[in-house]
Structures are given as structure tokens and as C-alpha cells.
A = this chain, B = another copy of it.
Amino acid sequence: MSKPLLHSYFRSSTAFRVRIALNIKNLETDYRAHHLRLGEQRAPAYLTLNPQGLVPSLELPDGTVLTQSLAIIEYLEETMPEPPLLPADPILRAKVRAVAQMIACDIHPINNLRVLNHLRTCFGADDAAIAGWFRHWVETTFEPLEKQLSQRPQRDRFCFGSAPGLADICLVAQVANNARFNVDMSAFPTVQAIHDACMELPAFRDAAPSVQPDAE
């Protein structure tokens, strides 16, 4: 193959992150969907590429397979520095990565599909309990995130500065996910405004779940 191959699922918010980064870096890829609700990510052929059975994976033309969305995005940043997804200053880089990890560590994994399914299995959680769980973990982290972003002295259009980066990528993918569980975004106006500013850009719009080849 000549182009990298993105293993994705339209609704996966971690795959959404990588799709945005690929678009910002202007790296054309082929797309292969793995339907998570049908369990296609656990097919033996896919498990040989990604033993965790998770999307996304980025398969490079030489056969190297990269996994974990933030590791893939850092790889793209290191090998294709322009346009940058991280600022140059080490303190600012740490601030951007911290916002990304607030979402990528403290919200998304706890609300991932397989965790929600396990709540149903272990504790008999019904749809209302699942939605309550989801919203609880979003709100627990979006409250300090909103506070932090609303207090930025510059009131930038994006999380940090006048161009979107790693923090915005994670923020947008999480906000898109929130809509499925009716998170009340009125408490998070700065987060919402940054999401909306990002979604005006083709790199974000073209990465959205609804316009992927496997969208339902």
C-alpha cells in the first residue's frame, strides 16, 4: 500500500481525534471501518495488528502499526511538524497536554463503550443509570476545564492561541460524544464556543463521525 491506512469506527471519539490530526497535517490515508457494536475489532486479523482490539490504529505503508490516539498524534507532530499541534514552549506544551489528558484520561476511558457495557453486565445498569454515569464523569472534569479555559487572559478562539491543537482535538471529540448522552452544555459555554470555532474548520468538519464512510 502507498498511503497509511486508518483503522477507525465513525463513532469512536479516539478515532475522531486522529482523523482531525491527519486532516490538520494534510496526510491522506485510506480508511477501514471496524464496527465496534458488532465486535469487528475483536476479529483475529485485526487483533494481530492491534492486540488490544481497539480503534484507532494507523498502519503505515511499511507495515508498522501505531496504536493509542495520543501516541499516534504525537508521532504525526514529530514527523510532520507543520502546522503544529503543540506550541514550542515547554511550559505551554505541558499545559496543552494536560488539557488533552484531562479528557483522554479522566473522561473518555471511564465512559468508553466497553466500560458502559460492563456496568450493564456487572451491576445491571439500565439506560438511565448509564447516561447518569456518563454525565457525571464529563461534568466532574468539564467543570474545572471550563473554569480554566474561561480564565485565560487572552480569550483565544481555541484552547491555546489562534490555531487549533492537541487540546482542541480532544475537546471537540468529547463534546461530540456528549451529545449522545444529553450532557447539558449550557454550563460549559467556553468549551462549547471552542468546539464551535473548531467545527467551522474543514479539518474538523471532515473528520466528524457523521461524514465517515461507515456512518449510519
Contacts and interface: CB of A to CB of B under 8 A. Distances in A.
Interface of A: 51-54, 64, 66-68, 70-72, 74-75, 78-79, 90-91, 93-95, 97-98, 100-102, 104-106, 108-110, 114-115, 118-119, 122-123, 125, 129, 132-133, 136, 140-141, 144, 147-148
Given A52-B144, A79-B90, A118-B136, A104 B105 contact: yes
B105 A105 contact: yes
Task: List 7 tightest A-B contacts by C-beta distance, closest first.
Answer: A51-B144, A71-B97, A123-B123, A75-B94, A68-B98, A68-B101, A71-B98
A123 B97 CA distance: 33
A88 to B, nearest CB: 10
Contacts of A102: 52, 68
B141 A106 contact: no
A75 B53 CA distance: 30
A53 B147 CA distance: 13
B123 A52 contact: no
Given A105-B108, A118-B136, A122-B133, 11 more contacts: A51-B147, A64-B91, A66-B94, A66-B95, A68-B101, A68-B102, A70-B97, A70-B105, A78-B90, A122-B123, A122-B132
